[in-house]
Amino acid sequence: MGDAAVEVVDLRRTFKVPERETGLRASVRSLFHREYRQVHAVDGITFEIGAGEVVGFLGPNGAGKTTTLKMLAGLLHPTGGQVRVLGETPHRRRPDYLSRISLVMGNRNQLQWDTPAADSFELNRAVYRIPPAEFRSTRDELVDLLDLGALITKPVRNLSLGERMKVELAGALLHRPQMLFLDEPTLGLDITMQKRIREFIGEHNRRHGSSVLLTSHYMADVEALCRRVIVIDHGRILFDGDLAALGGRLAAYKELGVTLADGAADLSGYGEVRSRDGDRVTLRVPKETTPQVTARLLAEHTVLDLTVEDPPVEDIIELLLAAGHKAP
Ligand SMILES: Nc1ncnc2c1ncn2[C@@H]1O[C@H](COP(=O)(O)OP(=O)(O)OP(=O)(O)O)[C@@H](O)[C@H]1O
Protein backbone atom coordinates (compact mmCIF):
# COMPACT_ATOMS: atom_id res chain seq x y z
CA MET A 1 0.00 0.00 0.00
CA GLY A 2 1.16 3.57 -0.69
CA ASP A 3 1.60 6.49 1.65
CA ALA A 4 -2.01 7.62 1.88
CA ALA A 5 -3.13 8.52 5.41
CA VAL A 6 -6.13 6.17 5.21
CA GLU A 7 -6.48 3.12 2.99
CA VAL A 8 -9.67 1.12 3.20
CA VAL A 9 -10.52 -1.84 0.98
CA ASP A 10 -13.89 -3.61 1.08
CA LEU A 11 -14.28 -2.74 4.75
CA ARG A 12 -17.22 -4.35 6.53
CA ARG A 13 -18.78 -4.41 9.94
CA THR A 14 -21.79 -6.47 10.78
CA PHE A 15 -23.66 -6.37 14.09
CA LYS A 16 -25.75 -9.23 15.37
CA VAL A 17 -28.86 -7.77 16.95
CA PRO A 18 -31.67 -9.62 18.72
CA GLU A 19 -35.00 -9.56 16.91
CA ARG A 20 -37.55 -7.95 19.13
CA GLU A 21 -41.03 -9.28 18.66
CA THR A 22 -43.85 -7.63 20.49
CA GLY A 23 -46.33 -9.37 22.77
CA LEU A 24 -46.07 -11.36 25.97
CA ARG A 25 -45.85 -14.73 24.31
CA ALA A 26 -42.95 -13.59 22.12
CA SER A 27 -41.18 -12.14 25.19
CA VAL A 28 -41.43 -15.42 27.05
CA ARG A 29 -40.29 -17.37 23.99
CA SER A 30 -37.29 -15.07 23.61
CA LEU A 31 -36.13 -16.09 27.11
CA PHE A 32 -35.41 -19.55 25.73
CA HIS A 33 -34.80 -18.99 22.09
CA ARG A 34 -33.49 -15.71 20.74
CA GLU A 35 -33.70 -14.86 17.08
CA TYR A 36 -30.94 -12.68 15.73
CA ARG A 37 -30.57 -10.68 12.58
CA GLN A 38 -27.47 -9.23 10.96
CA VAL A 39 -27.13 -5.48 10.52
CA HIS A 40 -24.60 -4.65 7.82
CA ALA A 41 -23.61 -1.28 9.27
CA VAL A 42 -20.63 -0.99 6.90
CA ASP A 43 -21.08 -3.09 3.81
CA GLY A 44 -17.89 -3.17 1.75
CA ILE A 45 -16.46 0.34 1.41
CA THR A 46 -13.23 1.25 -0.37
CA PHE A 47 -11.50 4.64 -0.31
CA GLU A 48 -8.24 6.42 0.36
CA ILE A 49 -7.45 9.69 2.06
CA GLY A 50 -4.25 11.48 1.18
CA ALA A 51 -1.86 13.02 3.69
CA GLY A 52 -3.15 16.45 4.68
CA GLU A 53 -6.50 16.00 2.95
CA VAL A 54 -9.77 17.13 4.59
CA VAL A 55 -12.64 14.89 3.52
CA GLY A 56 -16.32 15.18 4.42
CA PHE A 57 -18.09 11.96 5.28
CA LEU A 58 -21.81 12.38 4.68
CA GLY A 59 -24.91 10.28 4.92
CA PRO A 60 -28.25 10.04 6.67
CA ASN A 61 -28.71 8.71 10.22
CA GLY A 62 -27.68 5.09 10.51
CA ALA A 63 -25.68 5.16 7.25
CA GLY A 64 -22.56 3.70 8.90
CA LYS A 65 -20.42 6.82 9.44
CA THR A 66 -19.70 6.41 13.15
CA THR A 67 -19.08 2.69 12.73
CA THR A 68 -16.52 3.48 10.03
CA LEU A 69 -14.82 6.15 12.14
CA LYS A 70 -14.65 3.77 15.09
CA MET A 71 -12.96 1.13 12.92
CA LEU A 72 -10.49 3.70 11.60
CA ALA A 73 -9.72 4.86 15.13
CA GLY A 74 -9.24 1.28 16.31
CA LEU A 75 -12.26 1.16 18.64
CA LEU A 76 -14.04 -1.54 16.65
CA HIS A 77 -12.78 -4.63 14.86
CA PRO A 78 -13.88 -4.92 11.23
CA THR A 79 -15.86 -8.00 10.24
CA GLY A 80 -14.08 -8.03 6.90
CA GLY A 81 -11.85 -6.14 4.50
CA GLN A 82 -8.67 -4.21 5.09
CA VAL A 83 -7.95 -0.97 6.84
CA ARG A 84 -4.67 0.88 7.24
CA VAL A 85 -4.30 4.29 8.83
CA LEU A 86 -0.87 5.95 8.79
CA GLY A 87 0.45 2.59 7.71
CA GLU A 88 -0.91 0.82 10.81
CA THR A 89 -3.74 -1.61 11.48
CA PRO A 90 -5.95 0.49 13.78
CA HIS A 91 -7.60 -2.27 15.85
CA ARG A 92 -4.22 -3.49 17.04
CA ARG A 93 -4.28 -0.27 19.07
CA ARG A 94 -0.53 0.03 19.30
CA PRO A 95 0.34 2.97 21.60
CA ASP A 96 2.45 4.46 18.85
CA TYR A 97 -0.58 4.42 16.56
CA LEU A 98 -2.90 5.93 19.16
CA SER A 99 -0.46 8.76 19.73
CA ARG A 100 -0.70 9.72 16.05
CA ILE A 101 -4.49 9.90 15.72
CA SER A 102 -7.42 11.52 17.49
CA LEU A 103 -11.15 10.84 17.47
CA VAL A 104 -13.48 13.61 18.60
CA MET A 105 -17.16 12.81 18.99
CA GLY A 106 -19.44 15.79 19.35
CA ASN A 107 -21.87 13.90 21.54
CA ARG A 108 -19.26 12.47 23.90
CA ASN A 109 -17.09 13.94 26.59
CA GLN A 110 -13.52 12.85 26.65
CA LEU A 111 -12.26 15.29 29.26
CA GLN A 112 -12.74 14.76 33.00
CA TRP A 113 -16.08 16.27 33.95
CA ASP A 114 -15.37 17.60 37.44
CA THR A 115 -11.91 19.04 36.96
CA PRO A 116 -10.66 21.93 34.83
CA ALA A 117 -9.58 21.06 31.30
CA ALA A 118 -6.05 22.18 32.19
CA ASP A 119 -5.78 19.11 34.48
CA SER A 120 -6.99 16.78 31.74
CA PHE A 121 -4.45 18.37 29.40
CA GLU A 122 -1.71 17.48 31.90
CA LEU A 123 -3.01 13.94 31.99
CA ASN A 124 -2.88 13.77 28.20
CA ARG A 125 0.68 15.06 28.33
CA ALA A 126 1.63 12.15 30.56
CA VAL A 127 -0.36 9.54 28.59
CA TYR A 128 1.09 10.62 25.26
CA ARG A 129 4.54 11.33 26.75
CA ILE A 130 4.65 14.78 25.20
CA PRO A 131 7.94 16.55 26.01
CA PRO A 132 7.21 19.50 28.38
CA ALA A 133 8.41 22.28 26.08
CA GLU A 134 6.44 20.88 23.10
CA PHE A 135 3.38 20.45 25.33
CA ARG A 136 3.53 24.07 26.50
CA SER A 137 3.92 25.48 23.01
CA THR A 138 1.10 23.33 21.55
CA ARG A 139 -1.22 24.10 24.48
CA ASP A 140 -0.52 27.84 24.20
CA GLU A 141 -1.12 27.76 20.47
CA LEU A 142 -4.46 25.95 20.95
CA VAL A 143 -5.50 28.30 23.76
CA ASP A 144 -4.77 31.19 21.45
CA LEU A 145 -6.37 29.75 18.28
CA LEU A 146 -9.50 28.67 20.12
CA ASP A 147 -9.63 31.74 22.31
CA LEU A 148 -9.81 29.54 25.41
CA GLY A 149 -8.39 31.99 27.96
CA ALA A 150 -9.70 31.20 31.43
CA LEU A 151 -11.98 28.41 30.16
CA ILE A 152 -9.34 25.79 30.81
CA THR A 153 -9.25 26.65 34.51
CA LYS A 154 -12.99 26.06 35.07
CA PRO A 155 -14.43 22.61 35.76
CA VAL A 156 -15.59 21.17 32.44
CA ARG A 157 -19.10 20.63 33.79
CA ASN A 158 -19.50 24.42 34.21
CA LEU A 159 -18.79 25.17 30.55
CA SER A 160 -21.44 25.76 27.90
CA LEU A 161 -21.78 23.19 25.11
CA GLY A 162 -19.76 25.33 22.68
CA GLU A 163 -17.05 26.11 25.23
CA ARG A 164 -16.82 22.42 26.05
CA MET A 165 -16.36 21.51 22.41
CA LYS A 166 -13.52 24.01 22.14
CA VAL A 167 -11.67 22.54 25.12
CA GLU A 168 -12.43 19.01 23.86
CA LEU A 169 -10.80 19.87 20.55
CA ALA A 170 -7.77 21.35 22.29
CA GLY A 171 -7.43 18.22 24.43
CA ALA A 172 -7.67 16.02 21.34
CA LEU A 173 -4.97 17.96 19.50
CA LEU A 174 -2.35 18.36 22.23
CA HIS A 175 -0.39 15.37 21.01
CA ARG A 176 -0.38 16.77 17.46
CA PRO A 177 -2.19 13.89 15.77
CA GLN A 178 -1.47 13.37 12.07
CA MET A 179 -4.94 11.95 11.51
CA LEU A 180 -8.05 13.50 12.94
CA PHE A 181 -11.46 11.83 12.97
CA LEU A 182 -14.19 14.36 13.76
CA ASP A 183 -17.68 12.99 14.34
CA GLU A 184 -20.19 15.86 14.41
CA PRO A 185 -17.87 18.36 16.11
CA THR A 186 -20.42 21.17 15.79
CA LEU A 187 -23.49 19.21 16.88
CA GLY A 188 -25.99 21.37 18.75
CA LEU A 189 -23.85 24.51 18.67
CA ASP A 190 -25.23 27.90 17.71
CA ILE A 191 -24.29 29.32 14.31
CA THR A 192 -21.53 31.58 15.67
CA MET A 193 -19.86 28.77 17.58
CA GLN A 194 -20.20 26.38 14.61
CA LYS A 195 -18.38 28.94 12.50
CA ARG A 196 -15.70 29.43 15.15
CA ILE A 197 -15.05 25.68 15.41
CA ARG A 198 -14.99 25.22 11.65
CA GLU A 199 -12.57 28.11 11.19
CA PHE A 200 -10.35 26.58 13.82
CA ILE A 201 -10.36 23.17 12.10
CA GLY A 202 -9.41 24.82 8.80
CA GLU A 203 -6.67 26.91 10.36
CA HIS A 204 -5.27 23.94 12.27
CA ASN A 205 -5.17 21.89 9.08
CA ARG A 206 -3.38 24.67 7.19
CA ARG A 207 -0.80 25.07 9.93
CA HIS A 208 -0.08 21.44 10.70
CA GLY A 209 -1.20 19.55 7.60
CA SER A 210 -2.93 16.77 9.50
CA SER A 211 -5.50 14.75 7.57
CA VAL A 212 -9.13 15.10 8.61
CA LEU A 213 -12.17 12.90 8.09
CA LEU A 214 -15.22 14.88 9.17
CA THR A 215 -18.86 14.00 9.60
CA SER A 216 -21.37 16.77 10.07
CA HIS A 217 -25.04 17.29 9.54
CA TYR A 218 -24.30 20.94 8.90
CA MET A 219 -23.50 21.37 5.24
CA ALA A 220 -21.88 24.73 5.98
CA ASP A 221 -19.10 22.84 7.82
CA VAL A 222 -18.53 20.55 4.87
CA GLU A 223 -18.68 23.30 2.27
CA ALA A 224 -16.21 25.44 4.21
CA LEU A 225 -13.70 22.70 4.94
CA CYS A 226 -13.91 19.87 2.44
CA ARG A 227 -13.19 19.93 -1.23
CA ARG A 228 -13.92 16.22 -1.40
CA VAL A 229 -16.84 14.30 0.06
CA ILE A 230 -17.69 10.66 0.48
CA VAL A 231 -21.42 9.96 0.67
CA ILE A 232 -22.48 6.74 2.33
CA ASP A 233 -25.88 5.14 2.78
CA HIS A 234 -26.82 1.72 4.11
CA GLY A 235 -23.12 1.02 4.62
CA ARG A 236 -22.20 1.60 0.97
CA ILE A 237 -20.50 4.45 -0.81
CA LEU A 238 -22.80 6.33 -3.18
CA PHE A 239 -20.37 9.07 -4.17
CA ASP A 240 -16.69 9.84 -3.65
CA GLY A 241 -15.28 12.94 -5.31
CA ASP A 242 -15.23 16.70 -5.53
CA LEU A 243 -18.05 18.48 -3.77
CA ALA A 244 -18.33 20.73 -6.83
CA ALA A 245 -18.62 17.72 -9.16
CA LEU A 246 -21.42 16.33 -7.02
CA GLY A 247 -23.51 19.37 -7.88
CA GLY A 248 -22.58 19.40 -11.55
CA ARG A 249 -23.20 15.71 -12.08
CA LEU A 250 -26.48 15.39 -10.32
CA ALA A 251 -28.26 18.65 -10.35
CA ALA A 252 -30.55 18.76 -13.32
CA TYR A 253 -31.91 22.10 -12.21
CA LYS A 254 -30.91 25.58 -11.06
CA GLU A 255 -32.31 27.75 -8.34
CA LEU A 256 -33.36 31.25 -9.34
CA GLY A 257 -33.61 33.87 -6.63
CA VAL A 258 -35.96 36.62 -7.85
CA THR A 259 -36.96 39.92 -6.28
CA LEU A 260 -39.71 41.73 -8.21
CA ALA A 261 -41.06 45.24 -7.88
CA ASP A 262 -44.43 43.53 -7.57
CA GLY A 263 -43.55 41.25 -4.62
CA ALA A 264 -46.97 39.55 -4.66
CA ALA A 265 -46.76 38.30 -8.27
CA ASP A 266 -47.49 34.60 -8.80
CA LEU A 267 -44.36 32.97 -10.28
CA SER A 268 -45.57 29.38 -10.30
CA GLY A 269 -45.80 29.51 -14.11
CA TYR A 270 -42.00 29.89 -14.33
CA GLY A 271 -40.89 26.98 -12.20
CA GLU A 272 -41.40 25.25 -8.87
CA VAL A 273 -41.67 27.84 -6.10
CA ARG A 274 -39.35 26.55 -3.35
CA SER A 275 -39.65 29.39 -0.88
CA ARG A 276 -40.85 32.94 -0.46
CA ASP A 277 -39.08 35.26 1.93
CA GLY A 278 -40.70 38.69 1.84
CA ASP A 279 -40.39 39.87 -1.76
CA ARG A 280 -37.78 37.26 -2.61
CA VAL A 281 -38.92 34.08 -4.32
CA THR A 282 -36.76 31.02 -4.91
CA LEU A 283 -37.69 29.04 -8.01
CA ARG A 284 -36.44 25.63 -9.08
CA VAL A 285 -36.07 25.46 -12.85
CA PRO A 286 -34.71 22.70 -15.14
CA LYS A 287 -31.15 23.54 -16.09
CA GLU A 288 -31.73 23.49 -19.84
CA THR A 289 -34.64 25.96 -19.71
CA THR A 290 -32.93 28.39 -17.28
CA PRO A 291 -31.91 30.90 -20.00
CA GLN A 292 -35.46 31.06 -21.44
CA VAL A 293 -37.07 31.33 -18.01
CA THR A 294 -34.78 34.18 -16.91
CA ALA A 295 -35.39 35.96 -20.24
CA ARG A 296 -39.17 35.64 -19.78
CA LEU A 297 -38.99 36.88 -16.19
CA LEU A 298 -37.00 39.93 -17.27
CA ALA A 299 -39.37 40.64 -20.16
CA GLU A 300 -42.61 40.19 -18.24
CA HIS A 301 -41.78 41.73 -14.83
CA THR A 302 -39.82 44.58 -13.27
CA VAL A 303 -37.00 42.54 -11.77
CA LEU A 304 -35.06 44.22 -8.96
CA ASP A 305 -32.65 41.34 -8.39
CA LEU A 306 -32.01 37.98 -10.00
CA THR A 307 -29.53 35.25 -9.06
CA VAL A 308 -28.93 31.86 -10.69
CA GLU A 309 -27.32 29.24 -8.48
CA ASP A 310 -26.78 25.54 -8.17
CA PRO A 311 -29.21 23.98 -5.70
CA PRO A 312 -28.06 23.72 -2.07
CA VAL A 313 -25.83 20.74 -1.29
CA GLU A 314 -28.48 19.31 1.05
CA ASP A 315 -30.86 19.01 -1.91
CA ILE A 316 -28.19 17.40 -4.08
CA ILE A 317 -27.42 14.82 -1.42
CA GLU A 318 -31.12 14.13 -1.07
CA LEU A 319 -31.31 13.48 -4.82
CA LEU A 320 -28.27 11.25 -4.64
CA LEU A 321 -29.76 9.21 -1.81
CA ALA A 322 -33.09 8.92 -3.64
CA ALA A 323 -31.28 7.74 -6.78
CA GLY A 324 -29.24 5.27 -4.68
CA HIS A 325 -32.42 3.77 -3.27
CA LYS A 326 -33.80 3.23 -6.75
CA ALA A 327 -30.62 1.47 -7.90
CA PRO A 328 -30.83 -2.34 -7.97
N1 LIG B 1 -23.16 -1.59 18.66
C2 LIG B 1 -24.11 -1.77 17.75
N3 LIG B 1 -24.93 -2.84 17.82
C4 LIG B 1 -25.90 -3.04 16.89
N5 LIG B 1 -26.11 -2.23 15.84
C6 LIG B 1 -25.34 -1.14 15.73
C7 LIG B 1 -24.31 -0.85 16.67
N8 LIG B 1 -23.69 0.31 16.28
C9 LIG B 1 -24.33 0.71 15.16
N10 LIG B 1 -25.31 -0.15 14.83
C11 LIG B 1 -26.21 -0.05 13.66
O12 LIG B 1 -25.40 0.13 12.52
C13 LIG B 1 -25.98 1.06 11.61
C14 LIG B 1 -25.00 2.20 11.34
O15 LIG B 1 -24.85 3.00 12.51
P16 LIG B 1 -23.85 4.22 12.62
O17 LIG B 1 -23.93 4.73 14.03
O18 LIG B 1 -22.54 3.84 12.10
O19 LIG B 1 -24.53 5.26 11.64
P20 LIG B 1 -24.22 6.81 11.42
O21 LIG B 1 -24.10 6.99 9.95
O22 LIG B 1 -23.09 7.24 12.27
O23 LIG B 1 -25.56 7.49 11.93
P24 LIG B 1 -25.80 8.87 12.73
O25 LIG B 1 -25.69 9.96 11.71
O26 LIG B 1 -27.21 8.69 13.21
O27 LIG B 1 -24.80 8.95 13.82
C28 LIG B 1 -27.28 1.49 12.25
O29 LIG B 1 -28.31 0.69 11.71
C30 LIG B 1 -27.09 1.20 13.71
O31 LIG B 1 -28.32 0.93 14.35
With a 6 Å cutoff on the Cβ, whether 12 touches ligand 1 is no
b/e code 22-59 from CB counts within 10 Å (16+ = b): eeeeeeeeeeeeeeeeeeebbbebebbbeeebbbbbbb
Mean pLDDT by 10 residues, the chain (328 residues): 86 90 76 84 97 94 94 97 97 93 88 91 93 94 91 93 91 94 89 89 92 90 92 94 76 87 88 90 92 94 90 78 65
- State the Cα–Cα distance between residues 30 and 28, nearest whole angstrom: 5
The CA 56 to ligand 1 mean position distance, Å, reads 18
With a 6 Å cutoff on the Cβ, whether 323 touches ligand 1 is no
Predicted TM-score of the model (pTM): 0.83
Determine the pLDDT at residue 269: 93
| CATH 3.40.50.300 domain extents, the chain | 6-247
With a 6 Å cutoff on the Cβ, whether 75 touches ligand 1 is no
DSSP SS3 for 284: strand
With a 6 Å cutoff on the Cβ, whether 65 touches ligand 1 is yes
Determine the pLDDT at residue 244: 81
Task: Please name which of 110, 115, 260 lies closest in space to residue 182, comparing C-alpha atoms.
Answer: 110
Q: Whose CA is nearest to atom 30 of ligand 1?
A: 62
With a 6 Å cutoff on the Cβ, whether 41 touches ligand 1 is yes
Q: Whose CA is nearest to atom 26 of ligand 1?
A: 61
Distances in Å between the alpha carbon of 243 and those of 76, 94, 317?
A: 29, 34, 10
DSSP SS3 for 72: helix
The CA 82 to ligand 1 mean position distance, Å, reads 20
The CA 67 to ligand 1 mean position distance, Å, reads 6
The CA 234 to ligand 1 mean position distance, Å, reads 10
- State the Cα–Cα distance between residues 231 and 239, nearest whole angstrom: 5
What ipTM is given for this predicted complex? Answer: 0.96
With a 6 Å cutoff on the Cβ, whether 14 touches ligand 1 is no
Q: Whose CA is nearest to atom 4 of ligand 1?
A: 15
With a 6 Å cutoff on the Cβ, whether 15 touches ligand 1 is yes
With a 6 Å cutoff on the Cβ, whether 61 touches ligand 1 is yes
Looking at residue 22, the DSSP 8-state letter turns out to be -
Determine the pLDDT at residue 227: 93
Please write down the HEC assignment for all residues of 222-238: HHHHCCEEEEEECCEEE
| CATH 3.30.70 domain extents, the chain | 252-309
Q: Class of the 252-309 domain?
A: alpha beta
With a 6 Å cutoff on the Cβ, whether 106 touches ligand 1 is no
CA dihedral (220, 221, 226, 228) positive or negative: negative
Topology of domain 6-247 in CATH is Rossmann fold (3.40.50)
With a 6 Å cutoff on the Cβ, whether 105 touches ligand 1 is no
Find the DSSP H helices in the chain: 24-32, 65-72, 95-98, 117-127, 132-145, 161-173, 191-208, 219-225, 243-250, 290-300, 313-326
Looking at residue 111, the DSSP 8-state letter turns out to be S
